Copies of this chain bind each other. A is one copy, B any other.
C-alpha cells in the first residue's frame, strides 16, 4: 500500500467535531432513501445515541456499528462475489500448475459448461476454494484479488462488482462515521478478500473488517525475507453463531448497531440487542426483483425465511424494504 490515503472516517470526525453542530440538522444524510419507518429509525437512533444528555447517549468509545457485506451492502446474487472470484481464478491457477488441467473439479470449471458447473458438489467447491485462496503469500493474494476486481464483471449488470454497492447503505455508513461511530464489516466472506477493497469502496479500513479467516504461517522466502503464507486451515467461520464469536475475537466489544439481510445474521443481531442501553437491529429485505433481486421472505431461496421476518417483528428489528424504502439502489442509476 504505497499511495496516500486519508481515511474518510477521520476527516468526517474532524469535520463533525470542529463544527460542533450535527450535520443532520442541515441536510438530509440519507438522500437515496424514501421517507418511511426504516429511514426514521436509523436517523433517530444516530441522533439520540450521540446527543449529550439523551437517555440513549452512547459514549464515543462504545460506538461500534457492524455491517454484513454480501446482500447487505452489495449484490450477492446470483453468487457471492468471492465464489465467482475463485471460479474465475481457475484458468490462471491451471496456467501456473498445468498438472491440474485434467484433474476434477478444475477440468469442469475450465470447460465453462454451465450444466456441469451447476452440478459441482460442496467438496468440489472446497477444493477450488483451497486452491485459489491458500498457498500463496498474503501480498500475492491481495494482488490477485486486485487484478480480478479491475476486470471482472457481474453477469447481469455487466459492471465491476465494486460498483454494485448499495448507495443507501453507503449513506448509512457515512452517517454513522460522521457521528463518531466506528463502522465494521462482519462478513461471512473472507477477511483477506474483503480487506483488499473495503477502504476504497466503503471507507472501512482493513483493521475494521471481521470475516471468515484462515490461518497464516510465518516463515522466510528463499531470499530469507520474512513472509506470511495463507494456510488451508479455518480459524473463524464468520457466519451465524460465528458472527458474534468473530466480533468478540476481533473487536472485543459488543456493537450497538447491526445490519444484516439473512438468517446468517440472526445471531449477530440477537447479540447486539442483548447489550444494555440503546440498540439498533436492521434487516435488509430483498423484495425488488426489477431493480435488483427478490429472494426474501416467501421466496424459494430461503436466506430470509418467514421465521426471520416473524422474529424481526417480535423483537422490534427494523426491516428495510429495498423496493419501498430506497429511491435508488446504485450510484450509477
Nearest B residue (CB) for A2: B276
Stretch from A70-78, A155-163, A191-199 forming part of the interface with B: A191-199
Interface check A291, CB cutoff 8 A? no
What's the least CB distance linking A49 to chain B, in Å?
13
A201 within 8 A of B: no
**Alpha-carbon distance between A240 and B241 when the two chains are bound, in angstroms:** 30
- A248 close to B216 (CB less than 8 A): yes
Partner among B3, B5, B235, B267 whose Cβ is within 8 Å of the Cβ of A226:
B267
- Check if A18 is an interface residue, CB within 8 A of chain B: yes
Q: How far is the CB of A193 from chain B (nearest CB, A)?
A: 11
This chain: how many copies in the complex?
A: 2
Point out the residue from B64, B213, B225 that lies within 8 Å of A249, measured CB to CB.
B213
Q: Are A226 and B61 in contact (CB under 8 A)?
A: no
- CB-CB contacts of A223-255 with B at 8 A, as 1s and 0s? 001111000000110000110110011111100
Interfacial residues of chain A within 37-73, with CB under 8 A of chain B in the complex: 59-62, 64
Complex Cα gap A225–B249 (Å): 20
Q: Say yes or no: B248 contacts A228, CB within 8 Å.
A: yes
- CB < 8 Å: which of B1, B226, B250, B273 contacts A253? B1
Q: Choose, from A6-14, A101-109, A167-175, A325-333, the stretch at the interface.
A: A6-14
Min Cβ gap A198→B in Å is 9
